[in-house]
Amino acid sequence: MKRLTGLAGAAALAVLGACHEGVGPGRCFEPNAVAYSFALNGDTTLVFHWPGSYMPVRVYAEPTGALPSNVATGMALWAGAFRCNEFSFVMSTDSTRADIIVRNPPFLPAVRAAAGVVHADSVNACTGVTEFDTTGTALSGPMRSYVSPLSADTGAVSSCYHFVTAHELGHALGLLAHSPDTGDLMNASPRRLALSESDRYTIQVLYHRASKLQPAPRP
């Protein structure tokens, strides 16, 4: 299932000339790969990624079951996709000072009309959603991801949590759309804990675009 809603504000795209001082841009990208859309609702002005000034991005995982370890694994998976040190993260124990908050409620929260939302589920075992609020061209709070069970089969849910958590973290990093390819982690129904070449290339391309949509000021 896929559900996308509108987002207030706009962002301008511009290709950056290089990914790292002294490193040619070609070295920063997956070779022979194809990028899928990462803009919200297909609007190429609605693009977000965490800027270099926010590195390392602070991530809070609600201390529930395996969620903290799943979040740490998922974040490391995405951080490992970058070839030129464009992204880093640190786990935080303080949700009030986090840039990304991940929770594990029994049911997904009701979606507020003002929030931008990216939603996915996986093989009817678990489901996830990432939401965010904006004021003008800036986020007005942290990225918020939720992962919840859909099944009474605890084994299936536990397995599902691994890749749905990583999928939602991809949204929280700025991949605000879904891949049409079922082999990609960012497909609307993810089925594996691995990044495809397209997943890696798409996040690399995203982090070499400039956007007017900025994160909220840190507390």
Domain boundaries along the sequence of the chain: 25-206
What does the pLDDT read at residue 198? 97
CA atoms within 13 A on the CB side of 218: 15
* CB contact at 8 A, 201 and 34: yes
**Which mean pLDDT values do the consecutive 10-residue runs of the chain (219 residues) have?**
28 28 68 92 86 97 97 98 97 98 93 57 85 87 95 92 96 95 94 94 94 86
β-pairing verdict for 100-103 and 134-135? unpaired
What does the pLDDT read at residue 211? 82
Helix (H) or strand (E) holding 205: helix 197-206
Nearest to 101 by CA among 61, 57, 56, 54: 61
What does the pLDDT read at residue 121? 63
What radius of gyration, in Å, describes the C-alpha atoms of the chain? 16
152: amino acid identity, one letter:
A
What does the pLDDT read at residue 213? 80
Q: How far apart are CA 152 and CA 149, in angstroms?
A: 8
Helix (H) or strand (E) holding 152: none
The topology (CATH level 3) of 25-206 is Collagenase (Catalytic Domain) (3.40.390)
> What region, left, alpha or beta, does residue 54 occupy, with left being phi > 0 and alpha being psi -120 to 50 degrees?
alpha
* CB contact at 8 A, 116 and 7: yes
What does the pLDDT read at residue 22? 34
What does the pLDDT read at residue 40? 82
Q: What is the pTM of this model?
A: 0.87
β-pairing verdict for 143-149 and 100-103? parallel
